[in-house]
Structure 1
């Protein structure tokens, strides 16, 4: 009110409206305005349960929505998880059926087939109980372990049944007598093979960090299942053999079974001949073995490396940056243009856009992002529209936009680790005083990186030349006029930005009252003439232009720190056809040749985990081999015989590397855990030969004859167990759809590895047994001679 009683209303001097808190962002879904809610899981929460709970809650909330307002789940990570688990369960069933078919074809009788078949449900159910007690969740890692286990848990029971059947046929024993005799021959080998597999995974389960977490569930799942299958083979299987197996069934074969037997018999004879040749030409065999080791090293360097496989999760991100200082009104048309292109793509289901912010650079009116959600896999596989192909097409289109810098990336393989599936690092000014040097180094690294064929979209969110206005206050003039600095700064903040006056309630909500100057009066630097500040001494309104001036300037939009050092973030993606391991190697080369001594760097996100996991995987492999070796040393009471068992492992590793290389897969964490498992599984075959050969040597047979006889005798059970395992993982090798890359990585490695370990590996085991057995005997004689000499010397 004025002194004369008249009223001045706010509508007389200002425009009053209900509006948004800020207009620096604009979000849209499929071209229409949208408000987006992102929901994240708390530690320990189950993604599938949270997804179902959110949908259930929204179904209740939507009843209170005004007309024309709807809600939509644009992307749900639980769908990918559910589809991946469903695919693995289907593969698990396929593997089980294949293994049962193989067992029946080899054993050729439903009674004998039932015996190893019962090992599967007992082992799998027991493993689920152990997982529940240990607090494990049902996920892709332990389900993959269970699929591999299907082909392993029947091994021990198959060996028992095959040996009982052989004794009944060759020695004319009754089932009970044959079972007792078979178990006396096999118990040691069964326990040894199972404990070897357990020993392989003991060090793996103890690894720290994310790598250890991923390894641990896989290791524990396989170990528990294998130990349970051994208990079944030592208890239930012998009892069933004595009850179910009948002598009259032996020898009654149809043409198919007879053909299989003939193939196995001829195979055993040819295998024995080949083993004889390896023993006869031991020097040449060792030379070929050394050549294979060299090829292993060559393949290891050829296979691209990564931390986790990049899966087709049906979505990807596009981060865009316009020139420094661009406003959101300039950003929106560019995003809308890109949005129209993407929405017309046949593989795209939804497009969410956000102007004024992106994932890599944060909030800035010059930034924008698109989150592109693809149609379900089954609707786009006909056109071959993988997420990689769609990304490539979008990247090519956006490369024609001269006003933006674009980075396209998929979600990280592990949610929360990094912003994408590429390479992330920070450059650090180790002196704390060389900001300009840090910027120069960042620009040089980015320029060199974008020239390399292994990298694409390398950029930094640092904006060192952001336009800004500098307010230069004449402090002496302000003091003379009686105007405090806080009043000057407060008035500028109110006019050019906004100031919160109070709150009020309306429609059941709390609104803030904000005051600011109209846009036309704050759009230019000369707007100072419209701003006034009251003098505390005279009460007069003084123009701001008298108190201050505005100058144009540039500076960084933000300065980030990492481990207390001033930093500049850099991120990029591997070019199509290259892995993240290739990208990291290339980036490391660029950094080493570019950065001055005062500028350092640190890997971040998934890149940091990948760099760390490389060393951890090597440690895990060495510890696994060491544990197995020490266990076998204790079992055989020898330092040399265990080496004969373990030397089958290189053939399996060579097969794994060769198969992965031929399929164009990567050396990732799933491949690495497959290699560790392969060491144990290959050693199982080796133990079957070495254990029996050692028994024959103890009975007085020569090393050579014992190796030949053991190889022929164990050929059939080794083939039966190996073929059942190889065909058991075949569905994984051929799998497609969500999560297929992880399934293919682990299965291809063990598939190729077991093929070569079963064909080439068991050929060299007898040779190593003979060579190392003789060496062990010489060492024993030498030690015995030295001991006797010392005893005589003491007596004298």
Structure 2
């Protein structure tokens, strides 16, 4: 919507022809007279003085007296053949805020700059400029990209704090000791705050991904401390002093904790170094989690044992007076024991019906594979309610800026009927590639708490209203998208434009039959009517006129040509444009009557009508021609309405296979579809690498390449559900001694298909021994005969983590796995 100052030289065609002058002579006269150039320097008395000619007029009125030529010895001034106006350039872009015409300024951050910091600095400058504006003018921020970032960061911060509080509460609930809770809980602030060091060193910021990584890692950070503290307490209950209990308890499970942490690192390190756009996002995510868990490992091996050896728990055996909180914890423990008894019955049943359990596992795997293959849909970036969206539309191929302005006003009037719309910001011809047929309307909705309908429903109503406005091809996009194009882009590639149009039209008709695909648009569907002038070369040669002469003359008079510049009062360069007045360039008949001046020796200038040298015709021409890899293509773009991108790709691909195309013509996908396929490939590579690294860690822990396979075989069972649920692993450890065999259930908290394997493997590796070895682990004694589901003497204290195991009271330990809610963040960027 900006209006730039311009000096308009409106040529008087009739006066010019009367003097026998051509427009090229006027242009040459302007360029030769309007000169300001250095001429060298003068040396005088050991001083140097630059020499310059100043031929540029000091005011616009001075252009009138500028001599541009001569006739019969008389100088011809510019005012004799043209009208000079101090005006503005022709407007090819407009902006409207709530329907009122305005001048808009889009501010983009530099590469590597912080969005929130940039916005804050811009707002500070705006507050200074506001006081300098004339009355009636104001600066209004219609779109603030930092709002969504601030809201997202605040939500994740709240989640991080709440997650930490809940984690500490759960730890206290199971450890039943506030000293143990403090000792283990110190891992959280130390690990989180220490993560800020590496984030600053690597140039990271506090953003959604880094904060989400810390939120996700909350449960992981405290695990090592819980395991170490739990094992130390177990040694204390066996009668050891605090120093020996801390030393032996830590060293006893050191290898298992070390393997667990490195397995988590093995999962997240490949995620941090993925390639492509997905790698750009998840680098900060993976590095934050990796460094945080490494710090938690260091704290678990240093601070926790030190505090455990110095900070005594006065009631380690729980023989003192039970206060209100202790009694409440006892009631929780009793309830948990009853729940664990039920779980023990289930375990006993599974051990008695191994074939049935194995069959269920195989069927679950097959069912998961079927769901994964035939029912589970995929998309690149899941949509969400941002409270803003954009309406884009194009008008008729031959529409002028005034025609598009009228359509924009109709769209804005229609949007006023939607009560949830807070304000609108419309532009015409914005951007480097925008034309007067292209319009965009940014729609800002009221806050989600102030409206009853979600953004999707409002977009549906908007789409319905826009369909009633004639003369536009509208489509709706999400605001703030990295890719401003529609999510579904289908390319038909080949050499012949007519065949490309034919196949694109056929595919478009089939896409209309697919539910959920809306706002379909084809690049070559609408041709622009174009006047084409064909030069009679023989006639032009006879009169001494070249095609270049015609192009320069007609181009300057009709299209306008900035031939020189004028330096205004502020020292800024203002274009000086030569062209015909608006009334003489509205129709082709005016163009045909233009006369071209031909200078012939001895005879003076001769004027030749343009109509005698050219013929014209109206022919359609493509509005745009797309090429990729030097091959022409037609792009079919579409929006998706409650249809995942992956499903849309499959259905369009099936529809395209029904269209018979000759060799050299094919259909392929680009845009988000291409990015999704690339990103899924990189994520698959990271997953495979993580599994391999975890397997190698387990192999090093077990000192065997065979034993880890029993753990790795549990991985395919995760396909039975997309959400990350814990799996139950039962280790049958035979005892070659009198009495029944002991069946221990070790928890395997699976994280993102990799970390769970390490968790179970490290637990198992800590207690693992070969059949002919004598049991050396303190817990290797008869505890439960799970086959008979009956408790036996010799209860033992559990050494698992409090997040998934029973509490630390002197009671039988039941190992129960829970859903790991932190794993919900695994589908941030949508996957299968």
Is the TM value for this pair above 0.5?
Answer: yes
1:174 aligns with 2:278: no
Aligned twin of 2:264: 197
CA apart distance, 1:542: 2.2
Aligned CA distance change for structure 1 residues 720 and 710 (closer, same or farther; 3 Å) = farther
Aligned twin of 1:521: 584
Aligned length: 713
1:534 aligns with 2:597: yes
What are the superposed Cα offsets for residues 324-346 of structure 1, whole Å, 9 maximum, x if unpaired?
A: 22222222211111112224433
CA apart distance, 1:229: 1.2
What are the superposed Cα offsets for residues 419-474 of structure 1, whole Å, 9 maximum, x if unpaired?
A: 24612343322xx4x12112222222222212211311121233552101111222
Alignment match of 2:756 (pick from 682, 704, 709):
682
Alignment match of 1:582 (pick from 631, 647, 657):
647
Aligned twin of 1:570: 636
CA distance in 1, matches of 2:660, 2:388: 35
1:363 aligns with 2:434: yes
What are the superposed Cα offsets for residues 157-205 of structure 1, whole Å, 9 maximum, x if unpaired?
A: 1122223333434x24433343334224322211121121112233333
| CA RMSD across the alignment | 3.5
Question: Which structure has greater helix proportion?
Answer: 1
Aligned CA distance change for structure 1 residues 586 and 19 (closer, same or farther; 3 Å) = farther
CA apart distance, 1:625: 1.4
Aligned CA distance change for structure 1 residues 730 and 191 (closer, same or farther; 3 Å) = closer
C-alpha contact (below 8 Å) 1:690/1:710 kept by paired residues: no
Aligned CA distance change for structure 1 residues 710 and 374 (closer, same or farther; 3 Å) = farther
Report 1:456-535 matches (<5 A): 456-462=518-524, 465-508=527-570, 509-535=572-598
Aligned twin of 1:443: 505
Aligned twin of 2:286: 219
Aligned twin of 1:613: 679
SS of corresponding position for 1:679? coil
Aligned CA distance change for structure 1 residues 563 and 3 (closer, same or farther; 3 Å) = closer
C-alpha contact (below 8 Å) 1:95/1:147 kept by paired residues: yes
Aligned CA distance change for structure 1 residues 600 and 137 (closer, same or farther; 3 Å) = farther
SS of corresponding position for 1:393? helix
Aligned CA distance change for structure 1 residues 643 and 744 (closer, same or farther; 3 Å) = closer
C-alpha contact (below 8 Å) 2:219/2:822 kept by paired residues: no
Aligned CA distance change for structure 1 residues 183 and 627 (closer, same or farther; 3 Å) = same
1:427 aligns with 2:492: yes
What are the superposed Cα offsets for residues 367-412 of structure 1, whole Å, 9 maximum, x if unpaired?
A: 322122333xxx2334234332222221111122232211211146
CA apart distance, 1:118: 0.6
1:144 aligns with 2:212: yes
C-alpha contact (below 8 Å) 1:310/1:421 kept by paired residues: no
CA apart distance, 1:113: 0.8
Aligned twin of 1:384: 452
Aligned twin of 1:790: none
Aligned twin of 1:779: none
C-alpha contact (below 8 Å) 1:168/1:247 kept by paired residues: no
C-alpha contact (below 8 Å) 1:276/1:708 kept by paired residues: no
What are the superposed Cα offsets for residues 688-746 of structure 1, whole Å, 9 maximum, x if unpaired?
A: 6523541485653699998986999686734524799999986997xxxxxxxxx5945
SS of corresponding position for 2:315? helix
Aligned twin of 1:128: 196
Alignment match of 1:326 (pick from 390, 399, 409):
399
C-alpha contact (below 8 Å) 1:649/1:679 kept by paired residues: yes
C-alpha contact (below 8 Å) 2:698/2:708 kept by paired residues: yes
Aligned CA distance change for structure 1 residues 726 and 640 (closer, same or farther; 3 Å) = closer
Aligned CA distance change for structure 1 residues 676 and 592 (closer, same or farther; 3 Å) = farther
Aligned twin of 2:309: 242
Structure 2: stretches of 5+ with no match in the other structure = 1-66, 727-748, 787-794, 808-815
CA distance in 2, matches of 1:99, 1:542: 90
CA distance in 1, matches of 2:782, 2:635: 61
Aligned twin of 1:82: 150
CA apart distance, 1:287: 1.0
Alignment match of 2:231 (pick from 155, 160, 163):
163
1:308 aligns with 2:373: no
What are the superposed Cα offsets for residues 651-681 of structure 1, whole Å, 9 maximum, x if unpaired?
A: 5554543899xxxxxxxxxxxxxx9943344
Aligned twin of 1:775: none
Report 1:241-320 matches (<5 A): 241-251=308-318, 252=320, 253=322, 254-301=326-373, 302-320=375-393
Aligned CA distance change for structure 1 residues 358 and 131 (closer, same or farther; 3 Å) = closer
Aligned CA distance change for structure 1 residues 196 and 698 (closer, same or farther; 3 Å) = farther
CA distance in 2, matches of 1:727, 1:270: 15
Aligned CA distance change for structure 1 residues 435 and 446 (closer, same or farther; 3 Å) = same
C-alpha contact (below 8 Å) 2:750/2:759 kept by paired residues: no
What are the superposed Cα offsets for residues 118-158 of structure 1, whole Å, 9 maximum, x if unpaired?
A: 11112112222122222323221121110011111111111
CA distance in 2, matches of 1:266, 1:494: 93
CA distance in 2, matches of 1:710, 1:747: 46
Aligned twin of 1:717: 800
- 203-212 vs 392-401, which deviates more? 203-212
Aligned CA distance change for structure 1 residues 7 and 729 (closer, same or farther; 3 Å) = farther
C-alpha contact (below 8 Å) 1:499/1:514 kept by paired residues: yes
Aligned twin of 1:778: none
Aligned twin of 1:557: 623
Aligned CA distance change for structure 1 residues 696 and 100 (closer, same or farther; 3 Å) = farther
Report the TM-score, using the length of structure 1 for normalisation. Answer: 0.81
Alignment match of 1:455 (pick from 501, 513, 517):
517
SS of corresponding position for 1:504? strand
Aligned CA distance change for structure 1 residues 161 and 651 (closer, same or farther; 3 Å) = farther
CA distance in 2, matches of 1:747, 1:27: 34
Aligned twin of 1:789: none
Report 1:2-13 matches (<5 A): none
What are the superposed Cα offsets for residues 283-336 of structure 1, whole Å, 9 maximum, x if unpaired?
A: 111111112212322343433211223343332222212222222222221111
CA distance in 1, matches of 2:664, 2:317: 80
- 436-445 vs 265-274, which deviates more? 265-274
SS of corresponding position for 2:287? helix
Aligned twin of 1:770: none
C-alpha contact (below 8 Å) 2:191/2:295 kept by paired residues: yes
C-alpha contact (below 8 Å) 1:461/1:569 kept by paired residues: yes
C-alpha contact (below 8 Å) 1:175/1:247 kept by paired residues: no
1:111 aligns with 2:183: no
CA distance in 1, matches of 2:389, 2:72: 66
CA distance in 1, matches of 2:262, 2:782: 23
What are the superposed Cα offsets for residues 608-652 of structure 1, whole Å, 9 maximum, x if unpaired?
A: 210112222222222211211121112101233213333444555
Question: Which structure has greater strand proportion?
Answer: 2
SS of corresponding position for 2:136? coil
